A = this chain, B = another copy of it.
Amino acid sequence: MLISCVAYQNGRKLADIEPEDIHRYLVQPDSFVWVALLEPDERVLELMQAEFDLHPLAIEDARHGHQRPKIEEYGDVLFVVLHMIEQAEGSELRTGEVDVFVGRNFILSVRTGVEKGFREVRTRAEREPELLRRGPGYVLYALMDAVVDRYFPILQTIESDLERIEEQIFAATSPRANIEALYALKQRLMVFRHAVGPLLESLGNISGARVPVTCSGMQEYFRDVSDHLHRLDQTIESIRDTVSTAISVNLSMITLQESENMKRLAAYAALIAVPTLIVGLYGMNFDYMPELHWRYGYALVCGVMAAIDGYIFYRLRKAKWL
């Protein structure tokens, strides 16, 4: 689906144009064309390939999707793949992809799998013609910046989920639920690692020393994106580390809980076993058991048992077994 196809000159919108007319605008000086597609069909992709003279391998990637984030050069054209992450219902994450082709005088974005687009990016860019005048390289920056900035709130959700699980671990109320939650959280985190890690690696190519021509003069901007990715990366690593520790702490808490239950159990067993022995004693049928004939023998034995249990109880309570 074609979302928009606009020609810009000197940072100002020239006209909404038809995709078939793109090549006419590409030859104009100081201008570029910005096309946005959403899950395009085969025909549109072929048109774009023809208009912008895109490399078949890059088009192949865009067609199939499910690429890892990357920044590749095909001659003068940059091919950029970004993962987009959206919070779906529940705590599930929905992953989409935006593939961007950036040439000297055009930029083409192909979005798939997520709902939220880049309308606001375009609106903001059009309000700042002095920046937009820098051309497709600046638009690429603006798109990447938007994608990366959307990672932050979702990762914060994960962080606060983790904090909630931590509290439950130390409350030791629902170890089974904790394990499941930690496991699920780790899976969600993996989605971020796959989005952030490879992109960070690729970004070195356009913010470092040797820079593709389409991004020249933009290094400081791409370094800024790279810096955001570094922060995300650091947070991801922290969470990962914490999740690992939390899983092993949870195991410790389960073992500890079991150990404490066993102590309480043993305590109660003691409170019952000792009197059981005593009552068994006076159930013996010996002819000569003087206590059996005492007037208050029964009461006395009951008293003795109560006293023993009282003492055991006192000792165990002191030892914190009860």
Interface positions, chain A 66-88, Cβ under 8 Å from B, are 67-68, 70, 72, 74
Chain A facing B: main interface SS:
helix
Does the CB pair B256–A262 fall under 8 Å?
no
Stretch of A32-40, A95-103, A273-281 on the interface side? A273-281
Distance in Å from the Cβ of A219 to the closest Cβ of chain B? 10
Contact mask for chain A residues 261-280; partner B; CB cutoff 8 A; 1 contact, 0 none:
11101101110111111011
Interface residue A170 (Cβ < 8 Å from any Cβ of B): yes
Does the CB pair B283–A288 fall under 8 Å?
no
Stretch of A15-23, A43-51, A108-116, A293-301 on the interface side? A293-301
Does the CB pair A284–B286 fall under 8 Å?
no
Q: Which residue of B lies closest to A55 (CB)?
A: B220
Instruction: Give which listed residue, B273, B293, B295, contacts A269 with CB less than 8 A.
Output: B273
Q: Which residue of B lies closest to A172 (CB)?
A: B176
Interface residue A63 (Cβ < 8 Å from any Cβ of B): no
Given contacts A179-B256, A280-B280, A281-B279, contact A68 B289 (CB under 8 A): no
Interface positions, chain A 181-235, Cβ under 8 Å from B, are 182-183, 186-187, 190, 194, 198, 220-221, 223-224, 227, 230-231, 234
- In which size bucket is the chain A interface? 35 or more
Does the CB pair B279–A289 fall under 8 Å?
no
Cα A302 to Cα B288 in complex, Å, equals: 13
Instruction: Give which listed residue, B179, B268, B283, B294, contacts A253 with CB less than 8 A.
Output: B179
Instruction: Give which listed residue, B68, B223, B238, contacts A230 with CB less than 8 A.
Output: B68
| Cβ contacts A to B, 14 pairs, < 8 Å | A170-B180, A179-B252, A179-B256, A186-B245, A194-B238, A245-B247, A247-B248, A251-B255, A255-B255, A258-B258, A280-B283, A282-B284, A283-B284, A287-B294
By Cβ-Cβ distance, the 4 closest A-B pairs, closest first, are: A279-B280, A282-B284, A258-B259, A283-B283
